[in-house]
Every structure is written in structure tokens, then in C-alpha cells.
Structure 1
Amino acid sequence: MRRAVVSTQAIRVGVIEDHPLYRAAVARVLEEAEDIELGAVADSVARFAVCRQPAGSVVVLDLKLRGIADAAAVMEVVGMGHKVLVVSAHAGQSEVLGAISAGARGYLSKDADGEEILRAIREIASGNSYVSPTLASFVLNSTRDRNAGPKLVLSERERQVLSLVAAGERDQDIAEAMSISVRTVRSYLDRIRDKTGRRRRPELTRLAIEEGIAHPS
């Protein structure tokens, strides 16, 4: 008597990584996994978008890319309807929290081996999240601090500037979009930094996401 064959649907996975050797290595790991269907592989978010990877895929995403990068890249890919797993050499607190706040379902450093990348992909495809144990404390501490802190008050113009920063715009681009001078843009940014204590652009992007004023470009 023949045994019935039970077929399971493969997990569709795309890759956005600008380092050629690492991109090829990740693609090879995915191709060799029996339950993975490798889709679009690109070196930037813009090129990935052209490939039209089916919505609902898991996308392995580097943060430091040409063009759209960091949390703005996460938002852009999430906006395409995908589940994002960040795999980055940059695994500081601001990068991890910015990516998770932007909608990433998982975060690994590039120290992770192929088995852990596959494990994270399978968890995310099942509707769960996956953050490597060494980075999980960032998320737990941030949640605790956010619940304890006072409500931030920004002016409408400050919120508009912050939204454009989160979209990856430069000071010159923000000035043109708002019909103001670059000097005025920087004045708004100084006020936002003074109010929030957030200095770097990734930290400001994370703030915009927390405040609900960040949108995919």
C-alpha cells in the first residue's frame, strides 16, 4: 500500500543585501533548504521593488544599503506587504529598536549562522517574532522605559520635519518639501533633539515611528 504524500507550501523568501559575497552565501543557504522557495535577490530596496516579490514573503534585509536604508528601508519593505527579518552587521541598541519599531519581525547580527537564519525565517513565516537572545534585552528594556516615560509634545512643524527624517530625506530635501530654508530645518531638528535627547538620525526615525508619524516613502 502506498504511503500518502503530504505536501507543505514552501516559505517564499527574498533577500536585500548589498554585499555580494554575503548575499550569495545567504541565497545559497536558502536554496539548499527544502522548505524555502528563494525569490527576488537584490542589492537595494529600489531594485527589489522592481522584482515584484509576492506579498506575504519573508524578506531578509540588511540595514546599511544604498538609497533607502535603516528603519526607512524596513518601513518600505513592510509597506510592500512583506515580513522583514533584519540581518545586519550593525546590531547596536538604536539599530535594533529602530528596525523593530519600523515593523521588522526579527533581528539577527551577521554573526548568526545559516541554521539560525533559517530558524528565524520559519518562526516569522509562522506568525511569530525572532530576535537573537543577545539582542532581546534591548527590546525588553525599551518597552519598560517607554511605558514609564512622560508623553512627548512636539509642534506640528516639528512633527512634519521628523516624519521626513524618518522617510530618509536629507536636510536639503526637507527644506524643499516644506518651502523653508535648510537653516530653519536644522533649527527644528535642534529643538527636537533638545526635547527628546535623541541625537542621531536612526534615533529620530525610531522616535517618529513611536509617535505614529513615520510612513513608507
Structure 2
Amino acid sequence: MTTLRLVVVDDHPVVRDGLRGMLGTQPDFEVVGEAAGGAEALTVVDSVRPDVVLTDLRLPEPSGGTLIRLLLERVPGVRVLVLTTHDTDSDVLPAIEAGAIGYLLKDAPREELFRAVRAAARGETVLSPSVATLLLARVRPRHPLTETQLSAREREVLALVAQGRTNRETAAALFISEATVKTHLLHIYAKLEVPDRASAVSAAHRRGLL
């Protein structure tokens, strides 16, 4: 069994302690570091090289999208999973654009959090329902499109996702960035009117796209 190395970043000690205890109940998780702010997070992550960083957004600087970008620059390949109480446009969009692999709210059930950490480690995008709704609203066309109007590239992305490829593997296969893959997936979700990759694959099979 592969052990996932995690770092927890939150400016509230009680939250960090709670997350450490919760994550520690899983045999495949190991919390290898924690930080109370952005600068400390960069130092810790650079030192321990975790698989996944769980971070709040509003922290002592650097924070938000800036912190996410810096983390990804310091440790290429690390997955940044946002865990916060904020789900407004001004919080969600910069975080996703900066490269966060997922965005969960702190009221998520613990089993959802565990699944999200494992999915993030595999390179899969994970979004709270309210966040997915917000992002879909931003990319959904004014006039609903049919499945036949998926672009050629979107069909290629969907086919690779259906094969079980991660975002990174899909990006490598198509010679595009992971961020571009995420954008294509959001457009696919909007066009097929589904919330996630599993639903997109299911809908594509139902409609004869795969």
C-alpha cells in the first residue's frame, strides 16, 4: 500500500490539530508537516516534498492563488487541495486558475475529504458541489449545447479520461498542460450538464460518444 505524504496549512491551530488527527486515522495517509501561513508553508513543503498539500486560502501572506502558484513552482508535481470555508468567485476562480487540483469546503464529511485526498494524489480534479456549480455557471454557454458540439479536442480528452487517465497523463498524451486539460473538462461538464469526470464518462457512454 502506497502511503500518501501530506502537509496541512491553516492559520488556526485547532483546525490543524483536528485535520492531523482525522487524516491520521487512515493507514495510507501520513501528515509529514504543517504550517500556519504562506511563508512557512513554502519552507515546509520545500523541505518534506509531500504528495498533497491541504491548504486554506486566507492566510498570512502569501496566500490564495499566489501561494498555490509558488507551491507548484517550488515542488513541481505536488497536488494542492484547497480546504476552506469560502466559496465565492473571488476565492474559487483564482485558486483553480493558479493550479489547485481540488477545492473542498470545511463542512465536507470526513469520508469525502479522504476520497478527495486520494483523488488529488492521482491527479483527479475534486470540487465541492457548490464550487462545481459556480464553475459550471461560468463556463456554461448562454444557449445550451448538445453533445454533438463537443470539440475534437474535448472528445480526445474525454476518451482518455474514460480510459482512466489522470489529468497529467492526459496532458502528456495530448502535449498540452494540465491546466488546459482542466479547462477542457469544465467545458465538457458544462456541455454534458454533469458535475464530474465519472458522470461525464457515464453520460458519454449513454449518448454514444465513446
Shorter chain as denominator, the TM-score bin is 0.5 to 0.7
The 5-angstrom pairing of residues 86-105 of structure 1 reads: 86-105=82-101
1:36 to 29, 33, 40: 29
Are 1:83 and 2:79 counterparts?
Answer: yes
CA distance in 2, matches of 1:84, 1:71: 11
* Structure 2: runs of 5+ lacking an equivalent: 142-182, 184-210
> What is the CA-CA distance between 1:142 and the residue it aligns to?
2.2
Q: Is the 8 A contact 1:14 1:53 kept in 2?
A: no
The 5-angstrom pairing of residues 123-134 of structure 1 reads: 123-134=119-130
Q: Is the 8 A contact 2:10 2:55 kept in 1?
A: yes
* Aligned twin of 2:10: 17
AA paired with 1:90? Answer: H
Higher relative contact order, structure no. (Cα contacts within 8 Å, ≥ 6 residues apart): 1
* Aligned twin of 1:140: 136
> What is the CA-CA distance between 1:69 and the residue it aligns to?
1.3
- Write out per-residue CA displacement over residues 56-110 of structure 1, whole angstroms, 9 at most, x where no aligned residue: 6100000010111121112122222221110111111221111111100000111
The 5-angstrom pairing of residues 185-204 of structure 1 reads: none
* Aligned twin of 1:112: 108
* Aligned twin of 1:48: 41
* Structure 1: runs of 5+ lacking an equivalent: 1-7, 146-209, 211-217
Percent identity, aligned pairs only? Answer: 33
Which secondary structure state, in structure 2, belongs to the residue aligned with residue 75 of structure 1?
A: helix
AA paired with 2:102? Answer: G
1:73 to 64, 67, 72: 67
Q: Is the 8 A contact 1:26 1:114 kept in 2?
A: no
- Write out per-residue CA displacement over residues 102-129 of structure 1, whole angstroms, 9 at most, x where no aligned residue: 1000001111132221111011111211
AA paired with 1:59? Answer: V
RMSD: 1.8
**Deviating runs (4+, > 4 A) in structure 1?**
none
AA paired with 1:99? Answer: A
> Under a length normalisation based on structure 2, what TM-score does the superposition of the two structures give?
0.62
Which secondary structure state, in structure 1, belongs to the residue aligned with residue 24 of structure 2?
A: helix
CA distance in 1, matches of 2:43, 2:93: 28
CA distance in 1, matches of 2:98, 2:21: 28
